[in-house]
Structure 1
Amino acid sequence: MNRDSNAYTFLFAAIMVLVVAAALSFAAVSLQPMQNENIRKEKMQNILHTIGVETERDQAGEEFEKYITEQVALTSTGDVDPNVNAFEIDLTKEIKKPIEEQRFPLFIADVNGEHYYIIPLRGAGLWDAIWGYISLKNDVNTVKGAIFDHKGETPGLGAEITQSWFQQRFEDEKIFDQSGNFVGVTVQKGYSGGNNKDDNAVDAISGATITGDGVTKMIHDRIQYYLPYLEKQNVNVALNK
């Protein structure tokens, strides 16, 4: 075939596309197990972070086994489903199901004799999904810690939910009001409460109102499904009980 012809050029380009596509496909398949393992370890790191345990990725599995004493998948009525692995629940898919069909993963930790309940979160920000974890102290009212992440929030604005200075605002906040009603924690624009930990609110990120509202809704909407289980465990989940 004439190497100067258009047919040769097109054939050569087509072959190169196929070769490159095959190489990329092989690389993706080969690296998938490693990528899945990194995702698994990062998930463990995030869960541990909410209870004040910081660890390197390579040590995440060992630390997770050390501090996480229970992993349960809950139904909407607060019962434990023994047939579902809590760690393997994908909230991206789960939240699309009817509530009665969903399973709600809960991680229970013990750190130096202190018990914590870690709840995975999933919601919507301004542009796309937001997610994270929030841990509650043994009174099931006080936040121990929180961590958030996002898919496509605006850098310098909504994307700041990943920053430690924002996440630290949730520490020691209450999810029940003083009358014992579950209200969650509100990310409040124009907040003037200072360091008040009993007003169920934290200061919002300037210029990121919609993302902040998404965090507020995400916390409230996800935690509410865990209250039936906690009540069944004879945990005092309401201050007026």
Structure 2
Amino acid sequence: MNRDSNLYTIVYASVMVILVALGLALTSQSLRSYQKKNEDIDKMMQILRSVRVQTTAADAEATFKSLIKESYLVDENGKQVEGDAFSTDYVKAFASKEALPVFVASIDGETKYIMAMSGAGLWGPLWGYMSVNEDKSTVYGADFSHQGETPGLGAEITQSFFSKEFYDKKLFNEAGEFKSIAIVKPGKTAEGQDYVDGISGGTITSQGVNQMILTSMGGYIKFLTSQKQ
């Protein structure tokens, strides 16, 4: 084949593209197990932060196994169903109203129930975990994550100063009615329910967190009220 011809150039470029694509595909496949492991470790760290436990990537798995005593899925009636809570696609589960994950932790001899959350912020998805005490109403801890909120503004939901605001807040009022926890502008209040201050300059993200807590915890109402009943 004439190396100066257009045909040669096209064939050569096509072969190189195919070889590079194959190389990238093989590399991605070979690294997939490591990527999955890192994703699992990150999820464990998020779940542990929701019960006020800070860990490193190196000891996250061991700490998770020692503190998380049980995990399961619950349906819309609050009943346990078959399935793997850890590997459940939370976004799909909330969107299609499928069974939701519950993790049971033992912290200083006390039982904490951890539930997942999924929502939307200004620039992308939000997610997180919220834990409650044995009364299934009083918040013990929370952790929030995001995909692309604005640094210094909406992205501040990941900071401990924000999650600590939720400590000891109530999901239900004294009459036993589910009220969620409102996110309000600093200086404002929410009548008839517990509330926390939103992120200054991150109004839309704060609204997204507010809606995420309302809808996500709302999906667990039957589970949360089962003990009371």
Normalised by the size of structure 2, how large is the TM-score? 0.90
Q: 1:199 to 1:129 in 2, by over 3 A?
A: same
Deviation at 1:79, TM superposition (A): 0.8
Whether the aligned pair in 2 keeps the contact of 1:106 and 1:120 (CA below 8 Å) is yes
1:146 aligns with 2:145: no
| Structure 2 CA distance for aligned equivalents of residues 186 and 160 of structure 1 | 17
Q: In structure 2, the residue corresponding to 1:147 is in which secondary structure?
A: strand
Alignment partner of 2:208 out of 210, 214, 222: 214
Deviation at 1:187, TM superposition (A): 1.1
1:105 aligns with 2:105: no
Supply the RMSD in Å over aligned alpha carbons.
Answer: 2.0
Deviation at 1:199, TM superposition (A): 5.5
Deviation at 1:153, TM superposition (A): 2.0
Q: Which runs of 4+ in 1 moved over 6 A?
A: none
Deviation at 1:183, TM superposition (A): 1.2
Deviation sequence 1:82-136 (CA, Å, 0-9, x none): x211112111222232x3xx10110111111111110110011123211010111
Q: Which amino acid aligns with 1:111?
A: I
Deviation at 1:63, TM superposition (A): 1.3
Whether the aligned pair in 2 keeps the contact of 1:191 and 1:202 (CA below 8 Å) is no
Whether the aligned pair in 2 keeps the contact of 1:121 and 1:134 (CA below 8 Å) is yes
Q: Which amino acid aligns with 1:114?
A: E
| Structure 1 CA distance for aligned equivalents of residues 84 and 9 of structure 2 | 54
Whether the aligned pair in 2 keeps the contact of 1:94 and 1:103 (CA below 8 Å) is yes
Normalised by the size of structure 1, how large is the TM-score? 0.86
| Structure 2 CA distance for aligned equivalents of residues 166 and 110 of structure 1 | 24
Equivalent position of 2:15 in the other structure: 15
Whether the aligned pair in 2 keeps the contact of 1:191 and 1:204 (CA below 8 Å) is no
Equivalent position of 1:224 in the other structure: 218
Equivalent position of 2:35 in the other structure: 35
Q: In structure 1, the residue corresponding to 2:123 is in which secondary structure?
A: coil
Q: 1:17 to 1:48 in 2, by over 3 A?
A: same
Q: Which amino acid aligns with 1:63?
A: T
Indicate the percent of aligned positions where both proteins have the same amino acid: 40
Match runs of 1:171-210 below 5 Å:
171-192=167-188, 200-210=194-204
Deviation at 1:206, TM superposition (A): 1.9
Q: In structure 2, the residue corresponding to 1:58 is in which secondary structure?
A: coil
Give the count of matched residue pairs.
227
Q: In structure 1, the residue corresponding to 2:95 is in which secondary structure?
A: coil
| Structure 1 CA distance for aligned equivalents of residues 23 and 199 of structure 2 | 44
Equivalent position of 1:92 in the other structure: 91
Alignment partner of 2:120 out of 89, 111, 124: 124
1:133 aligns with 2:129: yes
Whether the aligned pair in 2 keeps the contact of 1:126 and 1:153 (CA below 8 Å) is yes
Gaps of 5+ in 1: 237-241
Deviation sequence 1:30-87 (CA, Å, 0-9, x none): 1111111111121111111111222222322221121111111101011111x21111
Q: 1:95 to 1:205 in 2, by over 3 A?
A: same
| Structure 2 CA distance for aligned equivalents of residues 3 and 12 of structure 1 | 9
Deviation sequence 1:149-182 (CA, Å, 0-9, x none): 1122223322221222222222222222354432
Deviation at 1:11, TM superposition (A): 2.2
Q: Which amino acid aligns with 1:170?
A: F
